[in-house]
């Protein structure tokens, strides 16, 4: 590795270090910042490439913000670039959450904090319902997908959470392939999303 390569890695690391805290607004809040840095300022990638990266980042497991950083780092500077970008985007939020962790461990037994958390717990239930609502809007597109959703809830409820979610998720992928396979054989089409949907808070 020559000096130029090291300097590129360093710039990648610093760029994503600065973007890290921006991910507060969701993975896609990064797009304009990345466009400006990577496309306009440094001319490492074209605007089209950045759009491609964000389109794929939602299909790989994991958070969109981190996946996009890894992807862009990889495209600019190979494996080392991917690692530099990933560490860069993780480091600021890692430190912030660590500070939160220490702060809340110290405050745990404060009666005011305890009272606050009793209310926050109900808000978290609402947040999860909201996540279900948002995912459901893109997941439930016909009767078969609605049936899959209801079956999952029923299975979890009646087996008292005894089925491992990983098995269900794998089963879901197989069910999707089977359902759409049968439909295609019958000559019916299913309108599938062109791209993965954008969840503004779901990073």
Q: How far is CA 202 from CA 29, 133, 175, in A?
A: 12, 12, 25
198 binds another protein per the rule CB under 8 A: no
Stretch that binds another protein, among 3-11, 34-42, 153-161 (CB under 8 A): 153-161
Ramachandran region, residue 78 (left: φ > 0; alpha: ψ -120 to 50; beta: rest):
left
Task: Scan residues 172-191 and list those touching another protein (CB under 8 A).
Answer: 172-177, 179-181, 190
State which of residues 30, 116, 186, 188 lies at the interface with another protein (CB under 8 A). 116
Q: Which is nearer to another protein, 1 or 125 (CB)?
A: 125
CA–CA dist 129, 41 (Å, integer): 41
Q: How far is CA 181 from CA 60, 61, 189, in A?
A: 23, 24, 10
141 φ/ψ angles, rounded to the nearest 5 degrees: -115, -10
156 binds another protein per the rule CB under 8 A: yes
Stretch that binds another protein, among 9-17, 32-40, 93-101 (CB under 8 A): 93-101
- By CB under 8 A, the count of residues binding another protein is 102
Number of H helices, E strands in the chain: 7, 0
Stretch that binds another protein, among 1-9, 30-38, 39-47, 94-102 (CB under 8 A): 94-102
């Amino acid at each position: 590795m020559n000096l130029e390569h090291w300097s590129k890695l360093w710039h990648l690391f610093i760029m994503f270090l600065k973007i890290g805290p921006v991910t507060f607004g969701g993975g896609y809040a990064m797009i304009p910042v990345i466009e400006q840095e990577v496309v306009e300022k440094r001319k490492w990638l074209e605007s089209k490439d950045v759009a491609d990266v964000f389109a794929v980042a939602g299909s790989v497991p994991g958070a969109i913000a981190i996946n996009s950083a890894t992807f862009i780092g990889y495209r600019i500077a190979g494996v080392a670039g991917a690692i530099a970008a990933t560490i860069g985007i993780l480091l600021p939020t890692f430190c912030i959450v660590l500070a939160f962790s220490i702060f809340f461990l110290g405050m745990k037994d404060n009666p005011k904090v305890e009272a606050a958390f009793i209310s926050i717990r109900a808000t978290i239930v609402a947040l999860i319902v909201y996540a279900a609502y948002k995912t459901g809007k893109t997941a439930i597109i016909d009767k078969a997908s609605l049936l899959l959703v209801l079956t999952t809830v029923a299975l979890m409820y009646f087996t008292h959470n005894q089925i491992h979610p990983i098995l269900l998720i794998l089963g879901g992928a197989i069910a999707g392939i089977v359902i759409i396979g049968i439909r295609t054989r019958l000559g019916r089409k299913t309108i599938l999303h062109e791209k993965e949907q954008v969840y503004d808070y779901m990073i």
